[in-house]
Structure 1
């Protein structure tokens, strides 16, 4: 069997592992195994790539130095990745995902740029003649140039869009408010036209590498201007979309360097990201076209906090809330981003165990965009070994809230905000929410009345059937569990 056949077999094995990993990661019980399979597939693909002909030729010409550089790069990259994985808290996972999406886009852009420089500066004389006439020749230079240009554009948009998303998720001061310049759509249109012109120029004159880097610069600006107008309420959708972009950039880079496994892996990520984006858009009542062009999730509501909360907030202590829970036969726990911040998932499991010992039925209501990324709450609760069958999706659990004795909202805000149903001017208008306000009693565990990511007040906190428990999420749940066990 030839060397290339072995490489192709390794790529096929890696591709199969990627597909199996995707399948396993659809369930919480098999997700860890899926991660291991995906990592194994990537290791096989990287190892096989080291035996590709260009690498072997480079080793023959330059000795072991290229291999040393690959090793150094691998150690540095692996070290940074390991530190990020270990040091980054669970609350920072959305930010980490945004960064990793951006790094993927940047890597694809740099690979395509390097390959373009290599091809145009090391081409044979016959190739140079073909390149000069590539505007009339479809093979091979124009196809290569098209793939290169698309990689540079998508990668640049992904990288800078991801950095903006990271800044928004970190709630950095300069990025808290959405960019609402009245000419932003015209700016985006002009940038889009410029990118199309530059793609054509790169295809016509691939030897002018400056055109490629100019395309990258324009794409970088476009990535920023597309992401800046998007408000906090739509950030889970943006994360999905940028994840898809990173996959598409990788797939395009695979065409650039003629690497089949990169095309397959990138296509899997790109397709799954687009599917997840569509699901998130449906969950938030947003259109995909609207998200692509930005400007969603921004507020035009004029309702103030005072008009919603003044004289209507009923604060309760741990003893009073424990008495309410003692008489409850059915309790629904609604986790939100505040639960992640407080790292209260294990405390929540202890509270649920205490309630179940008293004969209370306990379930968990999961909104598809609760937290800062898709599946954020599922990951947190799975970490605490909470049985997956007790997690119920929004459409499944909403009809049961009128028969629920107590709904405990822990750190959730926008996903339980009734203003989504009643205020057409608020940034979450029309977004499907968890109907916790229809429960007989609602207990909201929250540090303060500070708004959620959408930046608007929540009428639920002032409802007649709501009791506010102002405390750190983890401490509040632990105190409540202790009070129940003493009762």
Structure 2
């Protein structure tokens, strides 16, 4: 069905899609640095708006009224989410967005499959289309259901990993069934089945099996691995979109999906390297969860933990010349980023060198801490990655750890069997003094005690992150 722009030369649509693709690439390039990330987001959004707008006007698939209403509702929901969702809830929102992308790709591919079978008939249906539809359905359904489970875990609905007998074998078996159903779909297409039903029904069966696989795929994975899972599901959503592009013969979907998929896999690799774990370990040897493990904590902590107060920490800051602040998920939960930023600004005004040491997997999604600190207007120059900050801890007077646990746990280097064995961590214990702000001595998502809390140069500032850091800010102000 022709749209408003369908009277233009056919090459026009290809040129517009090419421009959109270039904007996606430029936007992604800008997203690689915090200073230009906001501009990159705008450029990418402009490319998507151009692609969607031209597609709507070129192909009048539905009435203009229905399309306008859909865009209006979708835009309103997106605006509402952007304005109302707290930054601390961004991980689960990102997880849900990944799922919606995968689910939309699966439904669009299915609708196109039904349309083409009804239009040209099974005998004329290209094996490329049916094959791409099978790939889209498999990846899209896994992404949709897996992302919903991940979002639920991130939101605290059920944080503990759920294990079941022979779980790895079950996952492999269900994946094998999904692949077989996909092969049936492609085989029936190539044989030219006369009835629409037998050809299209395997697609919906594929979605059902893949949806089960998505749930089984994520429920055993603990919170410590959530950054990796989010990055991987993001890659899956991109691959589903790219496969849908082959179903629709739409170049801009192929470009956008490939970019998302490639960047997601690169980010997944970075996350795995930061944890010194392979992707296979993350998917098939999951560990951790609130309340998991923790055996031997009394032996580590008993009689060795020294608590402190905001007044004492303020006195230590008065004599410090170099301070490193290490944020963690506890800072996000307590929404303490603004108090932390205010403290850093006060120290900077007094001539103290202040930087933030950020572990790649701190928080619940890649870049979680960077987003929170940027929201509090912390200069990008003060944010340092693990490889940059670790050599400087030995020259640091005071390290303030707020809400972090596993990423500052020296057990990673002990050589003993441990969920975090070999994982690169922030060597905060090398500083002259370490102040750790936590609600309690409870373990992190790896479920093991942290010997840092009992070290001679460590002090524990117990309490809610925002309340304690704000009290520290007030005490430091009063001593200036």
Compute the TM-score of the two structures, normalised by the length of structure 1. Answer: 0.91
SS in 2 for 1:333: strand
Q: CA deviation at 1:308?
A: 2.6
Q: CA deviation at 1:195?
A: 1.6
In 2, Cα distance between the equivalents of 1:23 and 1:336? 27
Question: Which residue does the alignment assign to 2:139?
Answer: 154
Question: Which residue does the alignment assign to 2:41?
Answer: 35
Bigger mean CA deviation after superposition, 79-88 or 277-286: 79-88
In 1, Cα distance between the equivalents of 2:465 and 2:24? 38
In 2, Cα distance between the equivalents of 1:6 and 1:166? 40
Is 1:180 the counterpart of 2:163? The answer is: yes
SS in 2 for 1:225: helix
The 8 Å contact of residues 294 and 443 in structure 2, kept in 1 or not, is answered as no
In 1, Cα distance between the equivalents of 2:113 and 2:70? 21
Compute the TM-score of the two structures, normalised by the length of structure 2. Answer: 0.92
Q: Deviations over 1:326-376 (max 9, x none)?
A: 121211110111112222222222212222333321111110111111111
Is 1:19 the counterpart of 2:20? The answer is: no
Is 1:70 the counterpart of 2:67? The answer is: yes
The 8 Å contact of residues 147 and 252 in structure 1, kept in 2 or not, is answered as yes
In 1, Cα distance between the equivalents of 2:99 and 2:349? 47
For residues 368-379 of structure 1, the aligned pairs below 5 Å read 368-379=360-371
In 2, Cα distance between the equivalents of 1:295 and 1:160? 20
Which of the numbers 100, 103, 111 marks the counterpart of 2:100? 103
Question: Which residue does the alignment assign to 1:62?
Answer: none
Q: Deviations over 1:187-217 (max 9, x none)?
A: 1121122122111100012442110011111
Question: Which residue does the alignment assign to 1:436?
Answer: 428
In 1, Cα distance between the equivalents of 2:148 and 2:421? 27
Q: Deviations over 1:38-74 (max 9, x none)?
A: 111111101111234xx34x5xxxxxx6222212222
Which of the numbers 66, 85, 88 marks the counterpart of 1:91? 88
Q: Deviations over 1:2-27 (max 9, x none)?
A: 44222112111111111111111112
Bigger mean CA deviation after superposition, 178-187 or 157-166: 178-187
Inter-CA distance 363–197: structure 2 relative to 1 (3 Å threshold): same
Inter-CA distance 129–25: structure 2 relative to 1 (3 Å threshold): closer
Bigger mean CA deviation after superposition, 334-343 or 365-374: 334-343
In 2, Cα distance between the equivalents of 1:37 and 1:68? 28
Q: Deviations over 1:360-419 (max 9, x none)?
A: 211111101111111111112222222222211111211221221111001111111222
Inter-CA distance 99–423: structure 2 relative to 1 (3 Å threshold): farther
The 8 Å contact of residues 274 and 361 in structure 2, kept in 1 or not, is answered as yes
For residues 417-428 of structure 1, the aligned pairs below 5 Å read 417-422=409-414, 424-428=416-420
Is 1:121 the counterpart of 2:118? The answer is: yes
In 1, Cα distance between the equivalents of 2:29 and 2:245? 23
In 1, Cα distance between the equivalents of 2:116 and 2:327? 53
Is 1:164 the counterpart of 2:149? The answer is: yes
Size of the aligned set, in residue pairs, is: 463
In the alignment, structure 2 segments of 5+ residues that lack a partner are: 1-6, 190-195
Backbone CA RMSD of aligned residues: 1.8
Q: CA deviation at 1:285?
A: 0.7
